[in-house]
């Protein structure tokens, strides 16, 4: 019998090992039992409260048992649109417990989870680390029956997806769905080409090339990559780091998953190029827990690159440049996509953002200058170094050069990954994806903007509609308010809770929205929604809180008429409960006439 003590002892006696120790215990026992908390605290010289604090922060860690089979069924809007309700019901009925619970015998636990990066093949779930896509009620029942028969989870996967998903090291039923290959990310790639090109030049020249190409960060914020590298290089320090942010958690995005599955070497070469440029010896890939199933494949690619001399000492034969890459696992927290929260998490703590300044290029991983870059950004940088800035500048718009990977999901015929040049309009994208009668398009995920038909002529580019890559399409039969409510639930779930506007404000916004949905809203409520939303946006500490009111603010702006219809011209104070109904029971008991609602709004 494996003891938690033995697992804990395997780790160095350093607080930085906290999340690794918790993860190992979680994997072995399905939760972090009390004795393991005590053991970890003693071993790492932390208080037990610190261990519990870290374990309770991440969605895939738990201090209480989650079941021998822990089912995490995606709760994002694309999952609901693809029939989540019936699948969830099938799981509940067959397992005999509700979502949020574990069966009495401890066999099966059912839990909702935020977007797992499978929006083009929903409803999807992760069960003990294994991904199941395109679930149906029938499939859900079969899965539960197999669990009850004690079948190993890996053997429940009967079909594999396309490309490297079929390889021995992945064996996942996930589909890549690459619909359009552009020339930057999905163009022909000769392994080793980027690294060799880079080390043949001076690091300063590599940075200059990336600057000339006007590469802007692909995560959505659009910070100039060359400038970031330059800041990092110029910061005096004995050590520097490249940290690749592979924690794509924005609902509706899944393009990094496809890069990691199909062309991980391009990414790793991009990291080596960045390392060479800034003067780093180590790169870290922070991989979201949802993509743990790709890890063995990634490790194998890293090992092969080491053998080929593309990583390790003297990369590509370059004296004085040694560089290697280590994978760090996430544990389920959208906020860790924020770069300073990512750093906290990478250092083994709760993923709560840091105060800035100082910025990561000054004080990043282990307080050293760190270039934090998105997966797609690093791949793009590798290509720029290979083919040069003029080639890159020939694509896209004047302000947004190159191509962008878009993860397209929702009501369209061809969901999947598209590599397209910047500058195409929303309508052009809808045509390519086969979305004939789109009514609303969410560009950039919940933290982005919800565009109505009037905005379909807008361009996908940093200067008009910036996006990290998430594009969700909604047909006219969808209820816009359900979508907005789902997005707000997402932010409520994923806020770290550090600052008061985000911790409290999002719940208040959601409550107000529900009041309107219940038919008890007024024009005053719309004014409140807008004012409160703007306050949360202005007052919050990090990007999460500063964008969390966007689902409401963006639809209030672009779909105003739906809100106005919902409040039906009522103004002033409308209570959020029905007075007559609320007092009915008391009236009955006391043999009085029920109170009549004065502000009748029918």
Partner 1 sequence: MSEITITIDGRACKSPAGRTIFEVARTNGVYIPTLCNYKDLRPVGSCRVCTVRVAGRYMAACTQVAIDGMAVENTAPDLEDMRRSILEMLFVEGNHLCPSCEKSGNCELQALAYRYQIMVPRFPFQFPVRRVEAVAPKLLLEHNRCIQCLRCVRSIQTEDGRRIFVPQNRSRWRKIGVDPRLAAELTDEMALKAMEVCPVGSILRKGVGFAVPIGRRKFDKTPIGTDVAEGLPR
Choose which of 535, 570, 594, 597 interacts with partner 1 (CB under 8 A).
535
Residues in binding contact with partner 1, number by CB under 8 A: 40
Instruction: Looking at residues 16 to 45 of the shown chain, list those that interact with partner 1 (rule: CB under 8 A).
Output: 45
85 touches partner 1 (CB under 8 A):
no
Q: Which is nearer to partner 1, 214 or 495 (CB)?
A: 495
> What is the pattern of x (binds partner 1, CB under 8 A) and - over residues 474-513?
------------------xxxxxxxxxx-xxx-xx--x--
Sheet with 403-410, strands from edge to edge, namely 178-180, 416-421, 403-410, 470-474, 440-443, 449-452
Residue of 31, 36, 57, 75 interacting with partner 1 (CB under 8 A): 57
Nearer to partner 1, 426 or 509 (CB): 509
Which span (81-89, 148-156, 218-226, 532-540) binds partner 1, by CB under 8 A? 532-540
Contacts of 60 (CB under 8 A, 6+ apart): 26, 72, 289, 331, 332
Nearer to partner 1, 41 or 135 (CB): 41
User: Footprint of partner 1 on residues 403-462 (CB under 8 A)?
Assistant: none
Q: Does 355 bind partner 1 (CB under 8 A)?
A: yes
DSSP of 121-146: G-S-EEETTEEE-S--HHHHHHHHHH
Asked if 302 contacts 268 with a C-beta cutoff of 8 angstroms, the reply is yes
Judged by CB, which is closer to partner 1: 528, or 597? 528
Indicate whether 154 belongs to the interface with partner 1 (CB under 8 A): no
> Closest CB to partner 1 among 112 and 283?
112
Instruction: Output 121 or 540, the one with its CB closest to partner 1.
Output: 540
Closest CA to 203 of 324, 283, 326, 318: 318
Shortest distance, position 293 Cβ to partner 1, whole Å: 25
CA 493 to CA 508: how far, in whole Å?
13
Evaluate whether 108 touches 98 at the Cβ level (below 8 Å). Answer: no
Q: What's the DSSP call for residue 337? A: G
Please tell me what DSSP assigns to residue 164.
G
By CB under 8 A, which span of 49-57, 416-424, 439-447, 593-601 interacts with partner 1? 49-57
Give helix then strand counts, H and E, for the chain.
24, 15
- Name the segment binding partner 1 (CB under 8 A); options: 223-231, 256-264, 279-287, 531-539: 531-539
Question: Judged by CB, which is closer to partner 1: 68, or 539?
Answer: 539
Report whether 441 contacts 408 (CB < 8 A).
no
48 binds partner 1 (CB under 8 A): yes
Instruction: Supply the minimum distance, in Å, between the C-beta of residue 12 and partner 1.
Output: 17
66 binds partner 1 (CB under 8 A): no
Closest alpha carbon to 378 in 234, 236, 448, 278 = 278
Structure tokens at 500: 């008061």
The pair of three-digit structure tokens given for residue 400, joined into one six-digit string: 């947004």
3-state helix, strand, coil in the chain (%, to 5): 45, 15, 40
Q: Is-contact 40 9, C-beta < 8 A?
A: no
Integer Cα distance of 572 and 135 in angstroms? 46
> Closer to partner 1 at the Cβ: 167 or 524?
524
The nearest distance, CB 96 to partner 1, in angstroms, is 26
Q: How many whole angstroms separate alpha carbon 147 and alpha carbon 386? A: 49
- CB of residue 160 vs partner 1: minimum separation in angstroms? 35
46 touches partner 1 (CB under 8 A): yes
Q: Which residue lies nearer to partner 1 by CB, 410 or 533?
A: 533
Residue closer to partner 1 by CB (options 220, 533) is 533
Tell me the sheet residues that pair with 452: 440
Rounded to whole angstroms, how far apart are CA atoms 537 and 506? 10
Task: Decide if residue 538 touches partner 1 (CB under 8 A).
Answer: yes
As a whole number of angstroms, the distance between CA 55 and CA 143 comes to: 28
> Rounded CA gap, 351 and 339, in Å?
10
Nearer to partner 1, 230 or 494 (CB): 494
**Contact positions with partner 1 (CB under 8 A) in 313-342:** 333, 335
Can you give the binding site for partner 1, defined by CB under 8 A? 45-50, 52-53, 56-57, 333, 335, 350, 352, 355, 357, 492-501, 503-505, 507-508, 511, 528, 532, 535, 538-541, 576
């Amino acid at each position: 019998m494996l003891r938690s003590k033995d697992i804990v002892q395997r780790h160095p006696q350093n607080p930085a090992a906290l999340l690794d120790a918790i993860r190992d215990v979680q994997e072995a026992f399905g939760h972090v039992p009390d004795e393991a908390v005590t053991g970890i605290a003693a071993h790492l010289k932390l208080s037990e409260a610190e261990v519990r604090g870290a374990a309770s922060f991440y969605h895939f860690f738990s201090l209480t048992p989650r079941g021998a089979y822990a089912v995490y069924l995606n709760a994002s809007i694309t999952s609901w649109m693809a029939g989540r309700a019936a699948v969830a019901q099938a799981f509940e009925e067959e397992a005999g417990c509700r979502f949020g619970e574990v069966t009495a015998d401890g066999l099966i636990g059912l839990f909702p989870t935020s977007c797992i990066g499978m929006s083009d093949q929903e409803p999807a779930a992760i069960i003990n680390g294994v991904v199941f896509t395109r679930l149906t009620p029938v499939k859900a029942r079969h899965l539960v029956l197999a669990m009850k028969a004690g079948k190993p989870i890996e053997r429940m996967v009967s079909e594999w997806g396309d490309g490297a998903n079929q390889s021995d090291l992945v064996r996942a039923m996930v589909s890549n769905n690459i619909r359009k290959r552009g020339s930057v990310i999905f163009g022909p790639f000769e392994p080793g080409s980027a690294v060799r090109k880079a080390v043949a030049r001076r690091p300063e020249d590599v940075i200059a090339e990336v600057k000339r190409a006007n590469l802007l960060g692909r995560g959505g914020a659009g910070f100039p990559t060359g400038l970031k590298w330059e800041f990092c290089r110029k910061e005096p320090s004995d050590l520097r780091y490249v940290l690749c942010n592979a924690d794509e958690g924005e609902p509706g995005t899944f393009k990094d998953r496809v890069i990691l599955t199909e062309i991980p070497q391009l990414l790793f070469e991009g990291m080596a190029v960045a390392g060479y440029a800034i003067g780093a010896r180590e790169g870290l890939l922070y991989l979201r827990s949802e993509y743990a199933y790709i890890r063995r494949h990634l490790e194998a690619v890293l090992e092969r690159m080491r053998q080929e001399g593309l990583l390790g000492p003297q990369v590509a034969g370059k004296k004085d440049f040694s560089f290697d890459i280590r994978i760090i696992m996430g544990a389920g927290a959208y906020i860790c996509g924020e770069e300073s929260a990512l750093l906290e998490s990478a250092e083994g703590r709760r993923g709560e953002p840091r105060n800035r300044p100082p910025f990561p290029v000054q004080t990043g991983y282990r307080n050293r200058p760190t270039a934090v870059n998105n997966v797609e950004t690093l791949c793009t940088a590798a290509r720029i170094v290979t083919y040069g800035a003029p080639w890159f500048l020939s694509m896209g718009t004047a302000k947004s050069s190159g191509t962008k990977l878009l993860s397209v999901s929702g009501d369209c015929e061809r969901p999947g990954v598209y590599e397209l040049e910047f500058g195409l309009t929303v309508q052009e994208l809808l045509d390519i994806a086969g979305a004939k009668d789109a009514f609303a398009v969410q560009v950039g995920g919940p933290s982005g903007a919800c565009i109505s038909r009037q905005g379909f002529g807008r361009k996908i580019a940093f200067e008009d509609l910036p996006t990290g890559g998430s594009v969700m399409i909604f047909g006219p039969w969808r209820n816009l308010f359900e979508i907005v409510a789902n997005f707000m639930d997402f932010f409520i779930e994923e806020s770290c809770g550090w600052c008061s506007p985000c911790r409290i404000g999002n719940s208040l916004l959601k409550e107000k929205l529900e009041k309107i949905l219940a038919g008890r809203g007024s024009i005053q409520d719309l004014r409140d929604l807008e004012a409160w939303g703007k306050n949360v946006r202005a007052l919050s500490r990090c990007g999460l809180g500063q964008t969390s009111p966007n689902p409401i603010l963006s639809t209030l702006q672009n779909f105003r008429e739906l809100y106005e219809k919902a409040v039906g011209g009522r103004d002033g104070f409308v209570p959020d409960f029905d007075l007559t109904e609320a007092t009915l029971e008391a009236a009955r008991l006391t043999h009085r006439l029920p109170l009549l609602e004065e502000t009748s709004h029918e």
